[in-house]
Structure 1
Amino acid sequence: MTSTTTLPAPPEVDYPDLGLYIDGEWKSGTSGQPVLNPATGETLGEVPFAGPADLDAALEAADRGFRVWRDTPVAERTAILHRAADLIRARAGEIGRVMTAEEGKPLTESTGEAHRAATLLDWDAEEARRAHGRLIPSGPGETLSVHRVPIGPVAAFIPWNFPAGGPMRKIAAALAAGCSIVIKPSEETPGTACLLARCFAEAGLPAGVLNVVFGVPAEVSRHLIPSPVIRFVAFTGSVPVGKQLAAMAGEVMKPALMELGGHAPVIVCPDVDPVAAARACVRGKYANAGQVCTSPSRFYVHSDLYDDFLGAFVEASEAVRVGNGLAPGIGMGPLASSRRRDAVHRLVSDARDRGAEVLTGGSPVDGPGYFYPPTVLAGVPDDAAILSEEPFGPVAPLLRFDDLDEVLARANALPFGLAAYGFTHRADVADRLVRGFEAGILSLNHTGGSVPHAPSGGWKDSGYGREGGAEGLDGYLVTKRVSHRLAV
């Protein structure tokens, strides 16, 4: 059985006052909804919703803020962003505790996420110094040059699973490029976003450059995206919603960045240590309770080592300590909501009903909170929903394969193409995996996450555009060609 821990209530979290951050001021909004602790079901606070007047104020502020920020020297912009990163890093413990209280992930993961958000901001701040154009050789009396200029105010929409890292990927790139931004983080995890906004304000970011709003997602997107103020749309979330927002942006000819869902295949080849590979896969699978768009979610294991891999995977899954993320020693917290817990259990029940064997886990944990144990499935039939729907939870279906070309076809059969994973020590097999996987992110012999200095993004239905690396600022910049003749 999975180690599910019931512990005394952890210390109370000093949950922050929530508000809309518009034009450098905190506002109370027009309505709201409770914010729940997914480990206890208790109310942490109430997030305010922006009404039409609030959204108009945010747009007007972003328009004014952009005109100030784009003309701020790069060195000065960079210094402000570095100060904000230093504040986030200094407050990572506080930010982490709030993040765990409202999202559920273990405190070590939350604190680490806050530090990574600061590192990402530092990287993008420095990348702003390198986002320069070039001179192109031309004839006498003429200068031909390429300039990269900020595209303008950005509308960004963020889900709940990475309350610090998710917003920062949009904020850091937009601000580094010289854009202003109106961002709508998740209403389920607003406290973390508010703490980030305070760091930017204290670092000296001019009013209107960063605006944080909450509200009914469809209403906010319908208000912001068509506005003539907004010049670029950035979204992370599900494929269906991403397609809706991309269509909305397309109707008004606005470019967009779409980082959408996935269903990441893992191919474990016969030349690796099955126990080591299984343990590496378990570490990746249960990070943030599997609520990661790049989470490994379909495990194809060669028949020669399937049994050994399966045994080690189950053993490592059962060793994961589940409980309130604020308690010490917890390896996996709750799912973020009852909605997520029920969706995961529906997929597990469907697989079981179709003949899959549940080797561990498989049922919601009794008691308060939205806990679901690490769950391993074997003998999953091809028509089980979990093989075509992104599980976004702590469930691992394990499947056999014998032929590499055949399993690559199975791995690529879905419309998703965000992340993929492979385990092999053979250079020729690694080359086939690199060439064969249809995914924007490929990890070989590990299941590590994204890094600031390299690009991440999807393929096929998993979206377009890239975040991180030198490519991360591209969507927020316009390439302008200038041909300058000295005389008529």
Structure 2
Amino acid sequence: MDNRTCPYPTLGLYIAGDWIDDTGNGVIPVLDPATETRIGLLPKATARHLDMLLDAAANASAAWGRMPVQERAAFLCAAADLLRARSDAIAAVVTLEQGKPLAEARSEVLRSADLIEWNADAAVALFESEGTRIDGGNAISLVPVGPVAAFTPWNVPVLSPARKISMALAAGCTCILKPAEETPGSAVELIRAFADAGLPAGVLGLALGDPAFISDHLIRSSVIRKVTFTGSVPVGKHLAALAGSVMKPVTMELGGHNPVLVLQDADIEKVAKASALGKFRNAGQICTSPTRFYVHTSKFDDFVEAFAAETARLQVGNGFDPENHVGPVASERRLHAIETLVSDTLGKGATLVTGGARLGSTGYFYAPTILTGVDGESAFMRDEPFGPVAGVFSFETVAEGLALCNQSSLGLAAYVFAASDIDANKAAAGMDSGIVGINSFSVSRPDLPFGGVKDSGYGREGGVEGLKAFLVTKVVAR
């Protein structure tokens, strides 16, 4: 299978159990980032469509919330099984519209199935242990917050929607999903798995189209009782302000400019190999992607050399070719943003170790790039790269290294590499971030709460904490 033979789904809204591909309000072209060819047309929801989605979510809310959690969990587990059975076909859609290598796409689909199943099982355990307790004759219960509006990004177009949908549905909330307009086909396939699992009509809806129009309409509606968003800091701040103006609780996951602290006793060869794989996975388009590497001065030169050598082994190209390790970035807009960031940073005196240029004239391919000598006023230090670009810096003392790591206004993930567990744990305690990985870049798991501090947002997804974000505590006092 390749770009030419991969079937792309018909794009449509999912409203009250029906698929609607009404294009009367116009369409948005969906492009293959590897070839720049059009692969689909995204229908734009109207206000009438959104009101239909809201009515369906409201009408289904009470029955879904009252349904025994074990029955809700069964629907989720059935959807997870369908994702596993369809993983090859869905992965091809992901690669076609997002660009990541097919093996990465398949892994994302399978991880999404595991995540859905984990949330189903965790919800059963949570409600059985904490659903209702009696305290002095008073009843204290966990109840669903109500219909949810979920907004998801293009970089993990199955995993992010799967996380938000499964947490909301497991908790007893109905949900309307608005996926990124760059990757709607992945969302359609995910929704179809839930629909084919027999999910009652109205419990889950899909809105496609103009993001500003849809978010404004949904968040202002009295039907929506909770907002969850993953995306950029500026958009997140706007949506949080909008939700605040109508008193809606929000979960905001707004990305990061994630530091790596490489201590003096770290195994440089192992760290360099892990760094090349961790940094350039999904072409660096992961919110937890390491971006700023702070290496003890005694190991700086060795690390740069080893990191560059490992990076040179990565082959860039079409994600359908199994020989390729890195695909294109997701859009022309992202390509231009990376080109501008690197140009500005080099213009302010940075040294280019490797990469630093677009590859070819067709497709949004950019060479994995390593920079040193980055100026503190450069675009690289101001802006999250969200692409295949890394900066390497040196430090003398751990205190200095931590200060450098913590200087960003973002605080999602951070990483420490060290031979000594004691030193690694001490450094992790000093990291100003929501998540810290020790000797590993793998920090996102279904059982762990996920989220950041500072401009990286607030609230948590994943783990029991993520489920509880879709619940409120209700007291019946006597």
Whether these two folds match at TM > 0.5 is yes
Deviation of 1:68 (Å): 2.1
| Percentage of matched positions with identical amino acids | 50
Is structure 2 residue 49 aligned with structure 1 residue 54?
yes
Q: How many residues align?
A: 473
Residues of 2 paired with 1:194 and 1:73: CA distance?
A: 27
Are the equivalent residues in 1 in contact too, given 2:36–2:363 (CA < 8 A)?
yes
Residues of 2 paired with 1:383 and 1:18: CA distance?
A: 43
CA RMSD of aligned residues (A): 1.2
Is structure 2 residue 287 aligned with structure 1 residue 293?
yes
Aligned residue among 32, 38, 41 for 2:33: 38
Counterpart in the other structure of 2:463: 469
Is structure 2 residue 445 aligned with structure 1 residue 447?
no
Q: Deviations over 1:403-450 (max 9, x none)?
A: 111121111111111000110122332232121001111101011141
Are the equivalent residues in 2 in contact too, given 1:281–1:446 (CA < 8 A)?
no
Counterpart in the other structure of 2:334: 340
Residues of 2 paired with 1:9 and 1:47: CA distance?
A: 22
Is structure 2 residue 157 aligned with structure 1 residue 192?
no
The alignment partner of 1:87 has SS state of helix
Which letter does structure 2 place at the counterpart of 1:106? P
Which letter does structure 2 place at the counterpart of 1:394? P
Alignment of 1:31-180 (within 5 A): 31-132=26-127, 133=130, 134-138=132-136, 143-180=137-174
Are the equivalent residues in 1 in contact too, given 2:152–2:161 (CA < 8 A)?
yes
The alignment partner of 1:225 has SS state of helix
Is structure 2 residue 300 aligned with structure 1 residue 306?
yes
Deviation of 1:356 (Å): 1.0
Aligned residue among 228, 232, 235 for 1:241: 235
Counterpart in the other structure of 2:11: 18
Which letter does structure 1 place at the counterpart of 2:38? T
Residues of 2 paired with 1:239 and 1:103: CA distance?
A: 21
Aligned residue among 192, 195, 220 for 1:201: 195
Aligned residue among 345, 348, 351 for 2:345: 351
Are the equivalent residues in 1 in contact too, given 2:267–2:419 (CA < 8 A)?
no
Which letter does structure 2 place at the counterpart of 1:390? E
Is structure 2 residue 220 aligned with structure 1 residue 222?
no
Deviation of 1:483 (Å): 2.5
Counterpart in the other structure of 1:361: 355
Deviation of 1:388 (Å): 2.1
Deviates more, 1:14-23 or 1:425-434: 425-434
Residues of 2 paired with 1:56 and 1:67: CA distance?
A: 18
Residues of 2 paired with 1:225 and 1:361: CA distance?
A: 42
- Which 5+ residue runs of structure 2 have no aligned equivalent? none
Give the TM-score normalised by the residue count of structure 2.
Answer: 0.97
Give the TM-score normalised by the residue count of structure 1.
Answer: 0.95
Are the equivalent residues in 2 in contact too, given 1:18–1:48 (CA < 8 A)?
yes
Deviation of 1:474 (Å): 1.3
Deviation of 1:378 (Å): 1.4
The alignment partner of 2:220 has SS state of coil
Residues of 1 paired with 2:334 and 2:152: CA distance?
A: 17
CA 1:9–1:184: 2 relative to 1, 3 Å: closer
Counterpart in the other structure of 2:325: 331
Counterpart in the other structure of 1:5: none
Q: Deviations over 1:254-276 (max 9, x none)?
A: 10000112100111001011111
Deviation of 1:145 (Å): 2.8
Counterpart in the other structure of 2:245: 251
Are the equivalent residues in 2 in contact too, given 1:152–1:180 (CA < 8 A)?
yes
Alignment of 1:292-441 (within 5 A): 292-441=286-435
Are the equivalent residues in 2 in contact too, given 1:260–1:463 (CA < 8 A)?
yes
Are the equivalent residues in 2 in contact too, given 1:249–1:256 (CA < 8 A)?
yes
Are the equivalent residues in 1 in contact too, given 2:147–2:226 (CA < 8 A)?
yes
Which letter does structure 2 place at the counterpart of 1:263? H
Residues of 2 paired with 1:379 and 1:197: CA distance?
A: 46
Residues of 2 paired with 1:483 and 1:398: CA distance?
A: 58
The alignment partner of 2:53 has SS state of helix
